[in-house]
Structure 1
Amino acid sequence: MANMQGVATFSVIEPPAVRGTGRLTSDLDGAAVQPPSFGGVLRRLRDERRVSRERLGMAAGVSASYITHLELGRRGRPTQAVVEALFACLHRVQPVSHRSRRYLFDLAGLPDPAAPPLAELRAAIDPAKLRRLERLGPDPAGYFDSRWHVLALNDAARLAFPGLTEGGNWLIWLLEDSRAATALLDREAAAAASVSVLRARIAAFDVPEWSGDYLRDLGRSSEFRRLWSRAQDLDHPGERIIRLRDRRGEVPLDMQLYDVESARYPGWIRMLWGMTC
């Protein structure tokens, strides 16, 4: 699948020029610029919470000297279990933002098993992204997270998929809302394709902890369990074309799914675009 590439602009603030020297200086002249490190971030988080190395090590099941070696960069990258235990201890003392958590796991070279809060993902759909949806005109489109939760829809999507609204879930709408069966000629085919997409995304993250509760909730549906089992057959991933019923009769849509590049939430925001065939 193609990615929707965003364009970022950066403002560069230059240090003030020193008159008569012909060069630029700053308060950091002569200081070595160091790359970010897992140990450096761990030390900052620990110091901010006034947690001793002994306390942090005990909570994580490692020694205080191991914490020292991590902070000084004298040990290799810690395991997933150790990073989760270190984070849990620091978070209990004083909440750590999701952004800082993600940064810590990135520096450890590990995938973060925690799903971003849904409210944060919705807040990430800024006015520019909403304008992008509306520019698609009559084509229904929306932003979703990797669990198929709706983050934002354009007017065409609200009209095409009655009952699907912000805060809802595309997959649950397909499986449980009677309006989906009315709106779509092939609701089950669309549901099967959507289950396959979910299964592939969980596999791509390679850390399925975030999906446990979600799958348990979906698993209460016998149809979901059947489609989930069928999705194991990679030769039959499901139809990409869905057909709407409306006053014009049958309207086929080619459903395109794109990852929306996000530095803060990589892999978590996607656009579903129904292109009129």
Structure 2
Amino acid sequence: MAARTDLGEFLRTCRSGLSPEEAGLGASLSPRRVRGLRREEVAQLAGVSVDYYTRLEQGRHNSPSEAVVEALARALQLDDASRAHLIDLARPARGSSAGPAQRVRPALLQMMASMVDHPVLILGRRTDVLAANTLATALFTDWRRLPARERNYTRWVLLDPVARERFTEWDTVAADAVGTLRLDAGRHPDDRALNDLVGELTNKSAPFRAAWGDHRVHERTFGIKRLTHPEVGPITLHFEALTLPGDAGQTMFVYSTDPGSSSADNLRLLTLLDRPREGIDVSG
């Protein structure tokens, strides 16, 4: 993935999704073949020349200033996640950013093991699954049974038939996972393992190819996931994504159900099945 090509493609995608009316330009007087903004309209809104903006889209200019990036974000009405992604794509080219292997601290594993009524996952860079407590393993899959290179949340969602059967709204879950991976790719464009993962998913998954081509980004914060578990039935879960300041690139996902709901009953039933209670490091 060439970062400069990604910048141009991302800008084109953003302007194609924004109409002149939405951008505050009013209705166009001339017929349009497509819904989105023209290059000259984005340039006008951002206060840059048409030639300069064209060079950005074509990858012929690779280091826009911070002021220009902020002006483009405002012109294209980007949300926080998309704005952050644009900033990442506009950074000067960097060297390899693979970094050391990620590991979960023992104290975190102990804390996860103590949360017996809540499924808990820790995801790292590239949406790699680093740790899961017993209930999360029961709810999703036993990550330890997968080869180490396959212990990745996005890969599991896109390629494992179990995930497609388990998530009631699989299309949304898959698109969000791809958007999260796209966000990470912007932050770490030279991560070889990430590029290998994108290549594998591109070859093996048509839904991934479509979602990746949309250039949509997704920031994991909080939300709802609906599943149907083969042992206990339907479960609706709330999740909170908690970043770990002392562990760069790691996010803890804590899942819960509404008290007194049938989902709470079904999740409780899942906890009563005969399984050891532990926080499991699956990163090795």
- Could you tell me the TM-score, scaled by structure 2's length? 0.49
**Greater gyration radius:** 1
- Could you tell me the TM-score, scaled by structure 1's length? 0.50
